[in-house]
């Protein structure tokens, strides 16, 4: 079982409009509503790849009930969310069909009381007993200590469970120091962590700060990985247009599934890039277009740090 942690779960709502214009009334052509938050998106993709997944984090209020109701429809996903008194947040994505751009509005999340945080930590420790890997994903809701991920990483390491961290800001800085197996920042998060805007230097610095392996998302340019086994760049064969919401979460699912399947790094990266691109093509966050994934996974370019010949990963 793979465990994903989403402390700040959300009800993801995606609106599609013909063209988004300030100070104007818009007619919405389509509305999609899904359980969301980074770890829930990761879980959905992992389940689609055939993995058993348990999701935990917080859920509360009417939106929390909607999130939990949505999880009942996901085959292969077990709901182990911890109840809180506050209301789970909503995230709103508005997709401009003409330009392909997406505007995102994220609410802050519920206030978590000290007793609720303690209850979560107890539940997390129990869930680790059956986990083959854990992903710690997303922002922290109000009331959760800024060093929360660092503590959860140390708990996972003590239990012998490999851990992937995907967050930003001070929680990322403290989490990296706790020595996670993989961190997956985007270019902006990596620069904020290290002070360097040169990705290769920044990934190296992030490893020095404690991360065992660093995989940086470079947007349309793919992924850059700095690991104990070597450095690789992985890129899609062509730019993919669509809604990028959740693309990074799909990359996390690719990396995590490759970890538990013991795939070599080039194959993990090819899977992650193909899933990310296939998510951009999907109509809603937290999903991926299977046909696009099947088409791209064998065509992702994965090259070594000194420009080694392109590898051809086996299809996932």
The catalytic residues are: 249
3 state DSSP class of 235: strand
What distance in Å separates the CA atoms of residue 287 and residue 45, rounded to the nearest whole number?
A: 7
Largest CA distance in the chain: 55
How many Å separate Cα 116 from the centre of its chain? 24
Confirm if 277 and 253 have CB atoms less than 8 A apart: no
From residue 258, give the alpha-carbon distance in Å to each of 124, 263, 267. Answer: 23, 5, 7
Residue 268: name the closest of 153, 156, 206, 182 by CA: 182
What distance in Å separates the CA atoms of residue 195 and residue 188, rounded to the nearest whole number?
A: 10
What distance in Å separates the CA atoms of residue 233 and residue 307, rounded to the nearest whole number?
A: 9
Residue 59 CA neighbour count, 13 Å, CB half? 23
What distance in Å separates the CA atoms of residue 136 and residue 144, rounded to the nearest whole number?
A: 14
Beta-bridged to residue 154, according to DSSP, are none
């Amino acid at each position: 079982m793979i465990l994903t942690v989403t402390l700040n779960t959300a009800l993801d709502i995606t609106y599609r409009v013909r063209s988004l214009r300030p100070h104007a009334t818009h007619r919405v052509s389509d509305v999609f509503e899904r359980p969301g938050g980074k770890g829930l998106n990761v879980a959905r993709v992992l389940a689609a790849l055939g993995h058993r997944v348990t999701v935990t984090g917080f859920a509360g209020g009417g939106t929390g009930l909607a999130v939990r109701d949505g999880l009942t429809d996901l085959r292969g996903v077990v709901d182990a969310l911890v109840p809180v008194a506050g209301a789970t947040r909503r995230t709103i994505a508005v997709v401009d069909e003409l330009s392909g751009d997406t505007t995102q509005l994220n609410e802050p999340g519920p206030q978590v009381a000290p007793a609720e945080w303690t209850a979560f930590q107890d539940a997390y420790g129990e869930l680790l007993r059956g986990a083959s890997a854990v992903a710690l994903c997303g922002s922290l809701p109000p009331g959760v200590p800024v060093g929360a991920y660092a503590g959860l990483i140390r708990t996972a390491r003590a239990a012998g469970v490999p851990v992937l961290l995907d967050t930003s800001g001070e929680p990322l800085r403290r989490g990296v120091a706790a020595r996670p197996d993989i961190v997956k920042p985007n270019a902006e998060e990596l620069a904020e962590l290290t002070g360097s805007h040169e990705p290769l230097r920044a990934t190296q610095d992030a490893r020095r700060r404690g991360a065992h392996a660093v995989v940086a998302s470079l947007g349309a340019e793919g992924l850059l990985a700095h690991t104990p086994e070597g450095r690789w760049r992985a890129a899609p064969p062509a730019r993919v247009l669509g809604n990028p919401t959740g693309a990074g979460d799909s990359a996390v699912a690719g990396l995590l599934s490759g970890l538990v399947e013991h795939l070599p790094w080039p194959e993990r990266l090819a899977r992650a890039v193909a899933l990310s691109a296939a998510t951009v093509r999907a109509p809603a966050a937290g999903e991926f277009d299977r046909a696009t994934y099947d088409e791209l996974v064998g065509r992702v370019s994965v090259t070594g740090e000194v420009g080694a010949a392109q590898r051809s990963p086996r299809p996932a």
